[in-house]
Structure 1
Amino acid sequence: MTLPVTTFIMPEKGGDMTKFNWFPTFIAVLLAVLILPIAGCITIVRQPAEQPPPPPPPPVINSFTISPETISAGQRTTLSWKVTGATAVTIEPEIGEVGAGGSLLLSPAATITYNLTASNESGSTTGSVTVTVMVSTDKPDLVITDIWLTGAVVNYKIKNQGNAAAKPTWTYFYVNNLKKAEGYVDILAAGEEKTESFSNLDWRFPGAGGDPSTTMARFDVRACADGGSNIEESSKDNNCLTKIWGHTFTYDFVKNAHLAKWRSSAGDLKWPMVSYDNKGAAYLLYDTVVMCPEPVSNGWIQGRFADFYIKYYGQETTSRELVVPENARFTARVGFEPGKVSTDGVRVALGYLDATGSVVLLPKMDVYSDGTMRPYEVDLSSLAGKKTEFILWVEAKDSPQGDCVRWAESKIVQE
């Protein structure tokens, strides 16, 4: 191996050495002599970059419907949706963030299009539905406003809520979808309401005054104004009123609160609890159940409610899934516990367990410490016939101080 040779040129004897900066040059040459012979032996290997996992598929909107699609001003329509694979779901305008599935009863004042956006890290999927709100016209509009029993006589109220008089009509009465009677109704002026009865029907079942006794069997009764569709109206979709007479389903969340399974973002909770527990708490206050999420930003608390029963006398209470009846609705009034002050409020929701045991939260509602009890209602008709357990949910926002809210008159009822 031949090393490179470097010649140093020094100043002549007696010359000025300060004019020649030889030391840095000497060091540079020395390093070159030592390193160059082995430079060919160095191999640099670059590791291939680790491939990131593939992104998930975009969300799927399984269904997004509104029914009926055409209503008159003042009527209600049901908005329903189901989404899979989304980390966030919103419906605009007016509704905001919602769960992956649910339904809402709405009464828009004018024709409106609702837009659903389902998002995850791969992007977003959108869908839209439109409900048409018919402007009232100078036509009659007959509705049944009530049905009740007086002894064996079936009574009803019929009203013309249209802008023109209604000619004489016949009201039909059905029991379990079978027509049982007809009742004649004379001319009804615009805005007029009358009390009538089905004189040719004798109700031979227990019950006197108001609805029949709850000890009797269940009957689906329906009265329909203008049963023969003999007059032209501004709307034909609101002629009938349906009621359930006899035994109906009711589930009281306040009465079952001590049997529910409680959990917060800090872990499982055990009844009874106290309000100052740092893990969160739930407790009864008069005729309400108070829920306090874990006092941290975005902390939460939930109660899991089932059909609680005792199989044999003396045994512990056990539970099973609730069977959701037809025409079921959740109703409650929600507000802050007196004396509690929150800077940004909380969000509350009703939820249920799906077939996999995962919690599905229905549309959430914001609640603030303004001294009011806000009504919260959820239409459960989309769950009719299903077996499930229900969830009461409260979540804090950024500031968790004082976030204790009351649930009053919290029930599932069958209408």
Structure 2
Amino acid sequence: MLKNILTPKLKLLFLAVLAYLVIMACGFTTPGATPATEIPGAVNTSVAQTIVAQMTQIAGNATPTPTLVTVEPTASPGPSMTPLPTFTQVAPQPTWTPLPTFTPIPATPTPLPCNLAQFVSDVTVPDGSTYTPGSVFVKTWRLKNIGSCPWTTEYDLFFVNGDKMNGTTLIALPKKVNPGETVDVSVELTAPANAGTYLGNWQLRTPGGQTFGIGATGTSSFWVKIVVVVIDYTEPYNFLLEACKATWTSGAGTLPCPGQSTDSKGFVQILTSPVRENGKTDNESALWVHPQFTNNGYIQAEYPDIEIFAGDKFVTYVGCLRNHPNCKVIFTLSYRDENGTIKTLGTWAEAYEGLDVSISMDLSSLAGKKVNFILRVDAWGVADDDHAYWLNPHLTGKARGAITPLP
């Protein structure tokens, strides 16, 4: 700091004073002078005070030099830092190699063949239907045109092979059938004379004589399959043998004979070994009937007229088939006389209680008359489980032979 306030003149004075003090310290005196009595330290003190006074005066007249202040650098505070989230180490996951992207190739549509049929349903005569020898019936199939060509009325139903059962070989289609439409095709057949199972295969035929059928390639046949039952009865008139000669009806109209057991309109079939509600399997056949599937529905058959002889009796058992516990029906035997009047011979209520009803009705009052017998079954309320039977219904008497024993 002292170095900063000394001017050149002050520096020269300072050196002079300093030289004087050195000389005095070394005992230098002027020759011939009488040494004065010295007070120890007085001279030095005086000189020093004089020098200080002069330096003070000079310092007072001197222009002060700014003081250099050395400032130690300090770090400037930075912006406030947001603390980073705590890092939690996660176990390394396996590396998956991505599968190549699958680009589906559009399938080339397979062109439809011109002529191709699809079986839809058996309208009549389901597989395994039973008939007696010589019974005439009509088999009807429902087919759908799933080809690309229409079927005109020049197309035919065509017998291929198997049991022909007196059917016509070629039968023209009843209408034009465009692709996507359905048609019912029918043929009249006759049950063979011998007992057994019979099957006939059928297809369609184009006007040019090409045959086609069902299946993926259109080469498979649709068929009719029946069972012929020979019933060994001595009675000249049996209602089983004549069943499909009768007219079967319900509240829904006329019914086929035999029908399908799933037909909500009601149905009739012939059972060769019926299981009665008492659990016994019978060796005699029965008419299996079901009223129309509606509350208080009914089913009935009106037979062709027959002459009654003296001593004739109507004989049968009636009941519910096994495993139909909700069966509850009313059986009625009536006839239509020569004047067209319907008269009731008897009525029997039957429920599923393990017992059936034996009927032996004397017809002597009708001797000499021709009548049409009517067999009817009514639902007694809900008809959903009314699977009923007439077991071996027949006429017997002296003119017709002995009564066939029933179990």
TM bucket, shorter chain: 0.3 to 0.5
More helix as a share of residues: 2
Query: Normalising by the residue count of structure 1, what TM-score does the alignment of the two structures yield?
Result: 0.35
Query: Normalising by the residue count of structure 2, what TM-score does the alignment of the two structures yield?
Result: 0.36
Greater gyration radius = 2
More strand as a share of residues: 1
